[in-house]
Structure 1
Amino acid sequence: MPEKPSDDPSSASGLPDDVWEQFTRDTERDIRSSAPKEPSARARMVTERLREQDARGEQPPGWRTGPAMGVPPARWGKDLNGRAARHRKLWAVLGVTVAAAVVLVALKPSLLPGDPFGTGGSGAAEASPLPAETAAPTAAPGASDPETPTLDRPFAGSPALRWADGEAGIVLPEAKAVGAVPADRVEEALKLTKKLLVGANLDPKTVRGARPAAALSVLDPKQPELFDELDTGLRSPSREHDPVTLFSRFDPDEVRPVGDVIKARGRMTFKKGSQGGVAVRADYTFVYPVVRADGPPEVTRTIVRRVLDVELADPARYKVTPGRLLLVKYDQEIGNSSCDVYDGYLHPGFPSSRSAGPDPSGPATDPYDRSKDIDHGDGGHCGRVTRT
């Protein structure tokens, strides 16, 4: 311990006692911290192992190896530290991004492609629309997921889920001249045929049971027998005069449509007509989701396929009305509607209750199969559908 300076005036200036005591404590602490210490047993073992490795010419990888080959020593530390800093920043950014993605997927698993978690979501069912039909299919549509239709998804479990909505499903072929009939005349015939299909099967008033005025306005009134038959059926429907053979109509007191969408799919073809004009064949299927008018919200579907043969005749050569179609022939196939009920309406059956009329006795048919011609079987026995 250093001795306190003398009080002799010739020595260093006198120090107060408290200052000298503080100086003494600081000096002793510095001496103790700088004094050599006995290395621990582990330190001695490590030192001895390194000494032996040096003697054998060995060095642990990355240990005392200095800068990387080709990098000057003055820059090595900076480059290494710089890369480490950049890596830390990169991982920090990636960490935030991954965390945000995990949260987003947890809230909405449908964002992931497919169904990796087996949630059975509707994303796979809501596939892209089918391209327009340009030729007869070679087979019926494949099986769909056995989903129950709901008010929000009335076409769930149906091949029509991928069909176009309403008028968008009636795609006209490119108009071309047919013999002496110019292309613009062919285009007029195609547009009139579409107007007839829309008025008879898609017009909301027609579907809700009203008189199909829009469809009737396309037909040539110079077909008196046809108009008499249609008027009789709309006024006093019967087995012989049933308007549903040409028009899709539901009893508003029995059922109401679900939403505003009716699915449609089919095709048109044309050729030279027999009365100096162009003949058009239309083959389309329409799918109608409905619920009971005053019952539980149980959704069912009725499927109607219609095949029409019409002609836009030459008014210069035949007694016809310009801009009107001659209805040459029409046929239909109806799936999920009561048999032997001839009141001018379609009557869908619901899974929870039996429909009116006799039990089906005819063959089972797939109402979505457009690969075959309409077949009325052995005399019109009431058949059953394999799906709706």
Structure 2
Amino acid sequence: MAVPGDPPNGTPEGFGGGDDELRPDEYRSVVFDEDFVRAARLQEFSAQERMGEHARAVRSRSIWSGGGSAGRGNGTPGRGARQGMLLVLLIATAFAVAVYLGLRNPYVPPAGGGAEPLGSTVVPLAPSSAVPGGKPADLYAQSPAADYRTGAAGITLPAVRRTHHFTESQVLAALSIAKDYLVQSSLDPDVLSGAASRPVRVLLDPGQLAQFDESMTSPSGDGRHAATGWLVRFDPQTAVLADSRVRVDGVLAFEETSPEELVVTTDHTFVYAVRGAAGPDAASLFTVRRELRLRFDHEDLTTRRAELTSSYVMAGPQDCAADPAGGFRPLLAGAGPTTVGPPVSDPYANGHPRRAAGLCGVMDPAGAASAPPSSTPPSQPAQSSEPSRADQAAGTPVARPQAPPPPASLSPGR
């Protein structure tokens, strides 16, 4: 008996008959139910959909259409769709967390947090005789600064070579930053007049900015907050520059102190021609000897900043009784020493003691300009009952604290 689907004339010879031979065993376990159809990756368009122009026979099914019994008949996504949406949600969440941690990383250390505070010493040098006056060019010619170079040209770099952990270019960068610091802190007219401090501030390690700002706003001779430890500044009520061409001489040196640290030391003498702030008085010379120690790590070299760790300054002629922490107060042409010793120190006073109290030297006469022959002799200072400083000076250029016995002479020149 023929079954539906058999050929009209029977099964041809050579072909087996029956459902068992037409349907192999491997297909008998496949059930083409609704879940199987919904899970197919391809879906055939209906006859009406295929009648459209440029219509395709099939379309791909995305994971959003899903499949399975959970989504059957109620319009909700199936299990595959839910898994796809969950995967996308997890990826989006991970990306958002990565962006957040990149913008606000709690493990980034604060910039400059390990910077060492500056320790500074400022020693005023009192004149041993009347301060010579005259024209700046004549004063320079009669002083040890006659052969000094002018301005930044006097700050020359040493021969550059690489160290064990710093390349030649990194050493050159450290020396260049140190020179920039010297130029901005010792030669900038606005810095010298006290009108600006930012040119120096931008070159400092961020960890020292708070100390620097306090030194500028509330200078103190406590060894930490002297403005003149950071830069050269004249009291604008006392003196101004008579000549912008400052004479400079000195040396720079460098050494590697650790695999992460390069140290540059500077030793320079700056000679300024100054006059009184009140009127067109005769000019006089004011000499500042600065010995600085600047430390650099690899980050400092990249950002072009320095960490000033120590500063030793001798400056004169000044009165030992005047505190030089806030700004230098030069003794001008014709003036002489007004005090023999430094100001008294009260060990019982509260607050921050002046650590530099008792530090005062006598300026070596060889380091001061002699009066030019063509200049008018300066007026003689009032006679003092104390012995002359020239008689007190021993002539030896050795620095030591001023005490009741006569101190040794100090020479800020080279």
In the other structure, the counterpart of 1:258 is: 242
* TM-score of the superposed pair, with normalisation by structure 2: 0.50
Deviation at 1:213, TM superposition (A): 1.4
Deviation at 1:147, TM superposition (A): 8.1
Is this contact kept in 2: 1:246–1:332, CA < 8 A? no
1:194 aligns with 2:182: no
In the other structure, the counterpart of 2:278 is: 294
In the other structure, the counterpart of 1:304 is: 288
Counterpart residue identity of residue 187, structure 2: L
1:378 aligns with 2:406: no
Is this contact kept in 2: 1:221–1:321, CA < 8 A? no
Give SS of 2:228's match.
Answer: helix
Counterpart residue identity of residue 284, structure 2: T
Counterpart residue identity of residue 337, structure 1: Q
Query: What number of residue pairs does the alignment pair up?
Result: 233
In the other structure, the counterpart of 1:219 is: 204
Deviation at 1:215, TM superposition (A): 1.6
In the other structure, the counterpart of 1:345 is: 327
Paired with 1:253 and 1:280, the residues of 2 have a C-alpha distance of 35
Alignment of 1:362-377 (within 5 A): 364-366=362-364, 376-377=399-400
CA deviation string 1:205-260 (max 9, x = no partner): 1111123211221111133xxx3332222112222232112211112232221121
Alignment of 1:161-180 (within 5 A): 161-180=146-165
In the other structure, the counterpart of 1:242 is: 226
Is this contact kept in 2: 1:238–1:344, CA < 8 A? yes
Give SS of 2:179's match.
Answer: helix
Q: Report the CA distance shift for 1:275/1:298 in structure 2 as closer, same or farther (over 3 A).
A: farther
Paired with 1:218 and 1:172, the residues of 2 have a C-alpha distance of 18
Is this contact kept in 1: 2:220–2:326, CA < 8 A? yes
Is this contact kept in 1: 2:400–2:408, CA < 8 A? no
Tell which has more relative contact order, 1 or 2 (C-alpha 8 A, sep 6+).
2
Paired with 2:202 and 2:403, the residues of 1 have a C-alpha distance of 31
Deviation at 1:271, TM superposition (A): 1.1
Is this contact kept in 1: 2:289–2:412, CA < 8 A? no
Counterpart residue identity of residue 188, structure 1: A
CA deviation string 1:174-205 (max 9, x = no partner): 21101121100000000000000011100111
Paired with 2:403 and 2:264, the residues of 1 have a C-alpha distance of 27
Paired with 2:411 and 2:250, the residues of 1 have a C-alpha distance of 20
In the other structure, the counterpart of 1:281 is: 265
Unaligned runs of 5+ in 1: 1-145
Paired with 2:314 and 2:161, the residues of 1 have a C-alpha distance of 30
CA deviation string 1:72-93 (max 9, x = no partner): xxxxxxxxxxxxxxxxxxxxxx
Is this contact kept in 2: 1:306–1:331, CA < 8 A? yes
Give SS of 1:291's match.
Answer: strand
Counterpart residue identity of residue 155, structure 2: I
Paired with 2:254 and 2:366, the residues of 1 have a C-alpha distance of 24
Paired with 1:180 and 1:386, the residues of 2 have a C-alpha distance of 38
Q: Which structure carries more strand by proportion?
A: 2
Pick from 293, 303, 318 the counterpart of residue 322 of structure 1: 303
CA deviation string 1:257-288 (max 9, x = no partner): 11211110000111113351421111111011
In the other structure, the counterpart of 1:140 is: none
Give SS of 1:260's match.
Answer: strand
Give SS of 2:199's match.
Answer: helix
Give SS of 1:358's match.
Answer: coil
Paired with 1:326 and 1:346, the residues of 2 have a C-alpha distance of 24
Is this contact kept in 1: 2:287–2:412, CA < 8 A? no
RMSD: 3.2
Pick from 315, 326, 334 the counterpart of residue 334 of structure 1: 315
Give SS of 2:243's match.
Answer: coil
Unaligned runs of 5+ in 2: 1-130, 343-359, 368-396
CA deviation string 1:341-375 (max 9, x = no partner): 236111111242346x7334665443877xxxx96
Paired with 1:320 and 1:175, the residues of 2 have a C-alpha distance of 15
Give SS of 1:181's match.
Answer: coil
Paired with 2:403 and 2:303, the residues of 1 have a C-alpha distance of 37
Give SS of 1:191's match.
Answer: helix
Paired with 1:271 and 1:387, the residues of 2 have a C-alpha distance of 25
Paired with 2:202 and 2:330, the residues of 1 have a C-alpha distance of 28
Counterpart residue identity of residue 186, structure 2: N
Give SS of 1:222's match.
Answer: helix
Deviation at 1:308, TM superposition (A): 1.0
Counterpart residue identity of residue 295, structure 2: E
In the other structure, the counterpart of 2:144 is: 159
Q: Report the CA distance shift for 1:286/1:386 in structure 2 as closer, same or farther (over 3 A).
A: closer
CA deviation string 1:88-130 (max 9, x = no partner): xxxxxxxxxxxxxxxxxxxxxxxxxxxxxxxxxxxxxxxxxxx
